[in-house]
Chain A
Amino acid sequence: MTMRINPDLPKELKKYGKGEWNECFHCGTCTALCPLTENNNLFPRRSIRLLQMGLNDSLTVNVDPWLCYYCGDCSKSCPRDANPGELMMSLRRYLTSIYDWTGLSKRFYTTHFWEFGMILFLALFVISLFVFVLPPLDPTLNAAGGVRINQFAPVDLIEIGDWIMAIIVASLLISNILHMYYMVILKDKSIKIPLWLYFKEFWLLIFHFVTQLRFSKCDTEGKKYWLSHWLLMSGYTVMFTVIVVFLPWFQTEEVHPLYHPQRLLGYYATFGLLFGLIVVMIGRIRKSGEKFKFSHFSDWFFIIMLILTTVSGIMVHIFRINGMPYATYYTYIAHLAILVPMIMIEVPFSKWSHLAYRPFAIYFANLKKAAAA
């Protein structure tokens, strides 16, 4: 088998994160220390080797970066300060851009221009929809003293928009996952996976998606961050499902009592989002620990967009139940103008996609392991 070497690979990867990866002299300390690595998936040293040698193909077949949750023990003990942990993070960004067949992800990760341009474009698009398509503002309140939100933004119209967005995002993400499947499983000729294994291992995919249990296996940092990471993930998933799939049930004019599941779910998701985000934000500002030492601009973009979405969502809710029509309407527009670009960019092209790639990577790794056994 011929191997193609890309000598520019280390240079290329520098765009996806910081690290002195050429410093590595392969003592194996990082891999030996990692609580997650296993004999068939040795990381992070093996990935550094592939990078140093410029082996593109071997790097893209390799799902190891997704198996790492970045506790940072490897970077801390590295005798060369080569930042192996940050390499795994940068490789996740790199792989995201490789899995994405449209090439947009690469642009978003490596140029500010594309990222900000796209946000602005989508935000203006949302605002213009409200300006040109929707009826004028109605300041009257409903019987319960709530804002008549469904007069301003008819829930059936918004739901149609929701579904359009969901279909675009989902088809992009699913096609990217299929692309990943092609690169990781189909291109790897060394292994044949029988069909029944796909079903046998499938529950693990669901299990890891729901629990994120591997994260808590990380020695020190993992135990500290598992909860906040899980709250953030579950809060986001709940909120996403509710606003996309169950919008008519969620966006009501009627002000439900506090114990109503609509409000309980909404509050839970908001709490999860805020808690997780604040922990991450404090960590990144203080650069506490290896995990938060280096922040790529896509990390900050993700935090800022999500926190703006959450805060504007909370404000819509407060204004609506307190009967403040104009404030509600304007924040509602702002909320959507932030939310739409965030979902369109983050879910298929950027950081949020790890929500899908990580469980799939574990699934694929398990498939390969089971097939080899």
Chain B
Amino acid sequence: MGFKKVSAVIFTDKGNGSAPPYDLPALIEYARQLDGIKVVWKINELPEFNTQHMAEKIKENGLNYLILAGELPGFNKTFFDHAMRAAGQNPGAIGLACFREYGIISREDSDRAKAVLYCAAKGIRFDQVAIPNETAVHPDTLVIGAGIAGIQAALEIANGGQKVYLLEKSGTIGGHMAMFDKTFPTLDCAACILTPKMVEVGQHPLIQLLTYSELKQVNGHPGQYKVTILKKARRVNISTCIGCGSCAEKCPATAPSEFDALTALRKAIYIPFPQAVPNKYLIDEKSCIYVDRGKCGVCVKVCPVPDCINLDEKDEQIEITVGNIIVATGFKIFDARRAEQFGYGKFPNVITSLELERLVNAAGPTGGGIHFRTKDKRDNWIFSPENDQPKSIALIHCIGSRDKNYNEYCSKVCCMYSLKLAHLIREKLPGAEISEYFIDMRAFGKGYEEFYERIKEEGINMIRGRTAKVEQVNGQLLLRSEDILHDRLLEQKVDMVVLAVGLEPREDADNLSKILGITCSEEGWFLESNLVSDPVTTYKGGISIAGVCQGPKDIPDTVAQASAAASHVLQSIINGKVRESIKDLSLQYIVTKADHFVSTEEGQP
């Protein structure tokens, strides 16, 4: 064989702005000492987009093979194709070492980055040699988070005949979807879809509910995870409580209701909402007087079931063994106080979309009416059905999303839910003036554009141009914005402003990722194996992700992804094996395999 490969490695990440996430100097060192590598360049050392100059460089060094390495090196391939052709070389002789494809996102992944680079230098695909081992799988599954994603995944697996533990941090399953009034674009009632599923979960013989519990620790390996779970003290015996409600009636302590997005009050002993599963009471230790001062105990006195309420109950830990884990922890909404210019937290009638969602809900604090926020006798800000109703409402899109000052990404659901809310406001307040201030209207799904057209016909002002600031003038709210499609400044006075807040990773996502050994993206969403072709599994074997914890998405997508995650789990249970993570493969192992691969390939005619 007269052909000898003379290659150059080109690192394609410019690193202007922020440094690449991997250890660039170490990789450059590694690339230098590899076989057949003549030069190593960073892309900013090369002539920018000048094919002729690049071709001269290729000729100068006598190169016949190029390796582009970086986060997404394929972006630059065309340019080097042309340069290779101009230099009289085979334009196809370009290998890509794509780091992002193999989840190299931090300095800890240096060894894998080197392995990817090694394979590219050898001219073989990384996934041809980096095949992880398979181990026997335990048939039980843990689903973390019991929102719509967790519920769907748990049901799919349990209906497939396998045992599922469903872990939930709060006192009830249901998650954010239970708080919504309607779903877009069909305007189905959210509860009508969700509650039957919740009941099914609650009654399913193969699903063990672990509500009011948290994940503490995960040991073991893919297929055999030993999971420690903290069961927080509910202080009410879940098996004897009959849900009569006499305790809550007499309980003297109140706190804002999390389920009602803090728009109403609940007692310290409470059921989050009437359709909760399990439909049993629990005591919130933060607001309970007994927990705080050691005396009260009114609930114990009025409870008709003996020994049902135990105010001194302590947290306990349990340990379970599972083969697969599905993470479906969801999101939190953007804290609108951070965007001061919109006046949330300063002006009482600037409210978030989630608050409005509770207001328009017939089971919400106002019984479905939209009313102003006022202070009650005890200085709590609440919405009461006795308050006046607004005559004009403005919805502002993209609060905390698509904004480099907060989150750069699009939260994907806000345009559609704002349209839905506009429709619901129109339904509740037929005479009201409703305006939507948006940057771009992202109605991207099946039936969504049609939904947008429908809402426009309902007499809602659509204004292109996000509002710059909201001020309070004589009790009304003044919005200042640029009406971009009509080239004019706009000042509008309205009675109520609804902020379409974006979605953010939960505060505990980072901690959870450490416990599980999976990674988070820069924004804090859990990182999938491949954004396009494998958005469900992670780099850790036996751990899948579903729902918004992987990235913003709407309910249909969440349900679909949850089912996909369940199918991954069922697949591994049926095979009896689970693939370990490619994270566990050593550099030496891949190098040996790659060398072996090359020698057997070359031996063939």
State yes or no: do A and B come from one complex. yes
A contacts, CB < 8 Å to B? 25-33, 37-39, 42, 45-46, 77-81
Interchain CB contact (< 8 A) of A28 among B341, B405, B481: B481
Mark each residue of chain B from 65 to 97: 1 if its CB lies under 8 Å from any CB of chain A, else 0: 000000000000000000000000000000000
Q: Measured between alpha carbons, how far is A42 from B490 in the docked complex, in Å?
A: 12
Contacts A32-B480, A45-B482 given; does A27 touch B405 at CB 8 Å: no
Of the listed stretches B150-158, B207-215, B289-297, B466-474, name the one at the interface; the rest are far from the partner chain.
Answer: B466-474
CB distance from B34 to the nearest CB of A (A): 37
**Closest residue of chain A to B484, judged by CB?**
A28
Q: Which 9 A-B pairs have the closest CB atoms?
A: A28-B482, A32-B468, A28-B465, A79-B403, A31-B482, A33-B468, A27-B466, A27-B439, A32-B481
Which residues of the partner chain A approach B601 to less than 8 Å between Cβ atoms?
none
Which residues of the partner chain B approach A38 to less than 8 Å between Cβ atoms?
489
Mark each residue of chain B from 414 to 458: 1 if its CB lies under 8 Å from any CB of chain A, else 0: 000000000000000000000000011000000000000000000
Q: Does B488 make an interface contact (CB < 8 A)?
A: yes
Given contacts A29-B466, A32-B489, A42-B489, 13 further A-B contacts (CB under 8 A): A25-B440, A26-B439, A28-B468, A28-B482, A31-B468, A32-B468, A32-B490, A33-B480, A37-B489, A39-B488, A39-B489, A77-B405, A79-B403
Q: Measured between alpha carbons, how far is A22 from B482 in the docked complex, in Å?
A: 19
Q: Does B391 make an interface contact (CB < 8 A)?
A: no
Pick the most buried of A31, A39, A42: most chain B CB atoms within 10 A of its CB: A31
Q: Does B402 make an interface contact (CB < 8 A)?
A: yes
- Interface contacts (Cβ under 8 Å), in number, total 59
- Could you list some 16 contacts between A and B, CB below 8 A? A25-B439, A27-B439, A28-B464, A29-B468, A30-B468, A31-B468, A32-B465, A32-B468, A39-B488, A39-B489, A42-B482, A42-B487, A77-B468, A79-B398, A79-B403, A81-B404
Q: Across the interface, do B484 and A26 meet the contact criterion of CB distance under 8 Å? A: yes
CB distance from B79 to the nearest CB of A (A): 18
CB distance from B82 to the nearest CB of A (A): 21
Which residues of the partner chain B approach A25 to less than 8 Å between Cβ atoms?
402, 439-440
CB distance from A261 to the nearest CB of B (A): 48
Interchain CB contact (< 8 A) of B404 among A33, A37, A46, A79: A79
CB distance from B414 to the nearest CB of A (A): 14
**Closest residue of chain A to B468, judged by CB?**
A32
Q: Measured between alpha carbons, how far is A46 from B486 in the docked complex, in Å?
A: 12
Q: Measured between alpha carbons, how far is A200 from B49 in the docked complex, in Å?
A: 56
Which residues of the partner chain A approach B464 to less than 8 Å between Cβ atoms?
28
Which residues of the partner chain B approach A27 to less than 8 Å between Cβ atoms?
398, 439, 465-466
**Closest residue of chain B to A76, judged by CB?**
B405
Which residues of the partner chain A approach B483 to less than 8 Å between Cβ atoms?
28
CB distance from A64 to the nearest CB of B (A): 13
Q: Measured between alpha carbons, how far is A60 from B465 in the docked complex, in Å?
A: 26
Q: Across the interface, do A31 and B489 meet the contact criterion of CB distance under 8 Å? A: yes
Which residues of the partner chain B approach A42 to less than 8 Å between Cβ atoms?
482, 487-489
Q: Measured between alpha carbons, how far is A29 from B465 in the docked complex, in Å?
A: 7
Q: Measured between alpha carbons, how far is A140 from B221 in the docked complex, in Å?
A: 98
Which residues of the partner chain B approach A79 to less than 8 Å between Cβ atoms?
398, 402-405, 466
Q: Across the interface, do A28 and B466 meet the contact criterion of CB distance under 8 Å? A: yes
Which residues 159-208 of B have a CB within 8 angstroms of A?
Answer: none
Mark each residue of chain B from 387 to 414: 1 if its CB lies under 8 Å from any CB of chain A, else 0: 0000000000010001111000000000
Q: Across the interface, do B489 and A80 meet the contact criterion of CB distance under 8 Å? A: no
**Closest residue of chain B to A82, judged by CB?**
B404
**Closest residue of chain B to A37, judged by CB?**
B489
Contacts A79-B402, A79-B404 given; does A45 touch B488 at CB 8 Å: no
Which residues of the partner chain B approach A31 to less than 8 Å between Cβ atoms?
468, 482, 489
Q: Across the interface, do B469 and A33 meet the contact criterion of CB distance under 8 Å? A: yes
CB distance from B481 to the nearest CB of A (A): 5
Mark each residue of chain B from 475 to 512: 1 if its CB lies under 8 Å from any CB of chain A, else 0: 00000111110011110000000000000000000000
Q: Measured between alpha carbons, how far is A77 from B404 in the docked complex, in Å?
A: 9
CB distance from B144 to the nearest CB of A (A): 33
Which residues of the partner chain A approach B466 to less than 8 Å between Cβ atoms?
27-29, 79
Q: Measured between alpha carbons, how far is A33 from B440 in the docked complex, in Å?
A: 19
Which residues of the partner chain A approach B482 to less than 8 Å between Cβ atoms?
28-29, 31-32, 42, 45
